[in-house]
Every structure is written in structure tokens, then in C-alpha cells.
């Protein structure tokens, strides 16, 4: 059994070495910007992982949607449609406020 274990360990070590050679930015210091400092400490790592993966947090999408809805409300001429859009905007802002508050509490812990 020892020979098989040794073979497996050698293969794993070889694969890790190949992977390490392909890693870009290895050994470069982390660039700390104002967004990093404004992010609660408990959320910095998860948000950095999302950023590196090219995925925006859901709250960012909600902020963009809020901006779009505000523009639609301002441009809407029909009173009934404007009222419907305004209600959607209020619901969205409430949802966003709850999510941001939950993130703030989560980030402190």
C-alpha cells in the first residue's frame, strides 16, 4: 500500500507545482483601495472572491435597478403607470435597505 500512497503523493505534488507555475500575480502585494477599506472586515474576503470571479454582489444589481426605476418614474407620462413604477421603486428600496443592513451586521461579526 505504501508504494501506491507514494505514487499518489508524487502526482499531487507534481500537479500542485504545475498549478503554482501558472498562477498570475504571484507574490505581488494586495492593492488596497478605498472600497476595500469601506467594506466591513467580515465581508472583505467574500467580496474580493466575487470581484476576482467577475461577479457583482446582488446589492450592486439592485442599486442599478433602482437607478433605472427612478429614471422610468421621472419619464413616465401616464399617472397609473407612474404609480405602479413608484410602488415597485418603494418595494425595491425597502428590500435593498434590509439587505444592506443585514450585510452591515454580518460584516461586523
Grouping H, G, I as helix, E, B as strand and the rest as coil, residue 105 is: helix
For the question of whether the overall pTM of this predicted structure is more than 0.75, the answer is no
> What pLDDT sits at residue 26?
66
User: What is the reported pLDDT for 32?
Assistant: 78
Residue 91, CA distances (Å) to 96, 103, 106 in order: 9, 18, 23
pLDDT digits (tens, 9 = 90+) for 10-44: 999 899 888 878 776 666 776 778 877 888 888 88
pLDDT greater than 70 at residue 107: yes
- pLDDT value at residue 109: 59
Measured CA to CA, the distance from residue 103 to residue 72 in angstroms comes to 28
d(CA 107, CA 59): 14
For the chain, the structural domain boundaries read 56-109
Residue 73 contacts residue 82 (beta carbons within 8 Å) = yes
The pLDDT, as a whole number, for residue 99 is 92
Query: Tens of pLDDT along 38-91?
Result: 888 888 888 888 888 899 889 999 999 999 999 999 999 999 999 999 999 999
Amino acid at each position: 500500500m505504501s508504494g501506491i500512497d507514494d505514487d499518489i503523493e508524487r502526482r499531487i505534488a507534481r500537479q500542485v507545482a504545475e498549478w503554482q507555475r501558472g498562477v498570475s500575480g504571484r507574490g505581488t502585494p494586495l492593492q488596497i483601495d478605498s472600497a476595500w477599506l469601506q467594506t466591513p472586515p467580515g465581508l472583505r474576503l467574500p467580496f474580493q472572491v466575487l470581484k476576482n470571479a467577475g461577479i457583482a454582489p446582488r446589492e450592486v444589481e439592485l442599486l442599478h435597478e433602482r437607478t433605472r426605476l427612478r429614471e422610468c418614474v421621472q419619464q413616465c407620462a401616464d399617472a397609473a403607470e407612474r404609480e405602479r413604477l413608484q410602488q415597485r421603486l418603494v418595494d425595491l428600496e425597502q428590500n435593498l435597505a434590509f439587505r444592506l443592513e443585514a450585510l452591515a451586521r454580518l460584516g461586523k461579526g
